[in-house]
Amino acid sequence: MDNDMLPYLASGLGMVLVAIIAVTFWWRVSHIQFRWFWVGAGLWAVAVILKVISGLLTNAPVIGFLKQNVSYPLLVAGGGLFIGVESSAFEMGCTLGAGLIWRQLGSSARRAIAIGVGAGSFEALLLGVASLVTVAAVLAGIPGTEKIREGLKAAASAGQLLWLAAPIERVMAILCHASTRALVLLGIANRKRILIFWGFLIFTLLDGVAGAAHVSGRIGTFSMWWIELALLPFALVSVAILRWCYIRWGKQEDQEKESRENA
């Protein structure tokens, strides 16, 4: 086996493991029915399909317009914001629509968080599998993968433990998926619009940062760890949000359950 490919095998396996561990952890903590993770995965899939279609139709014209009419800093900021708004409109929008139609999705903090964990974990699983398939194709010497091999070797030779970046990014992404979807679903169920607003805003800013990095056109000219560092605050905020949601509504659910049992 080509030793230059080993880090990418580890990266793909890492993303798959992150997905499995995240679902297993919340399932064991919450004792929630497994189907709610699949609900999250389904909502994510619908949102991404719509987002991809929208991106193919609008991203190039919008980014092209910005390139021709604004300065580089405004291009990066405006392009990133556009991508963030677009992503949030579909991902949080689908969650909002589902929550309005089926209000039971947010009737439980455990359930709302499970839906978010399911969405983020399904994304991590697919990215991990895609990475493993790509590496397998390169190792098999399938025609057309020569340029991919060269690119992967060049990145591997740069060091910087890049194989860790993708799994760590997926951990942060799952936390953000869970927190934002929990805010939206719990906001609907408890009639607190401010929670819905914060869910949309956090997701917009999160994907806006990632979008700005791509719009800049400088991916590959700086360490990917700078992007991970930029995403870290969102993950930390998400941990606080998830803890707050669980304490605020999860304990209330436990108290109500205990009251019913003692009645």
Token pair in block for residue 130: 């895609």
| Strand ranges inside 171-246, DSSP E | none
- Identify the band that residue 154 occupies on the pLDDT scale cut at 50, 70 and 90: low
Mean pLDDT of the chain: 88
The confidence score (pLDDT) of residue 262 equals 47
pLDDT in tens, 82-135: 999 999 999 999 999 999 999 899 989 999 999 999 999 999 999 999 989 888
Share above pLDDT 90 across residues of the chain, in percent, rounded to a whole number: 68
DSSP 246: I
The confidence score (pLDDT) of residue 205 equals 95
Share above pLDDT 70 across residues of the chain, in percent, rounded to a whole number: 86
Does the pLDDT of residue 225 top 50, yes or no? yes
Note if the pTM is more than 0.75.
yes
pLDDT in tens, 162-217: 778 889 999 999 999 999 999 999 999 999 999 999 999 999 999 999 999 889 88
What is the amino acid identity at position 147? K
- Alpha carbon distance 225, 154 (integer Å): 17
- State the greatest distance between any 2 C-alpha atoms of the chain, in Å, as a whole number: 69
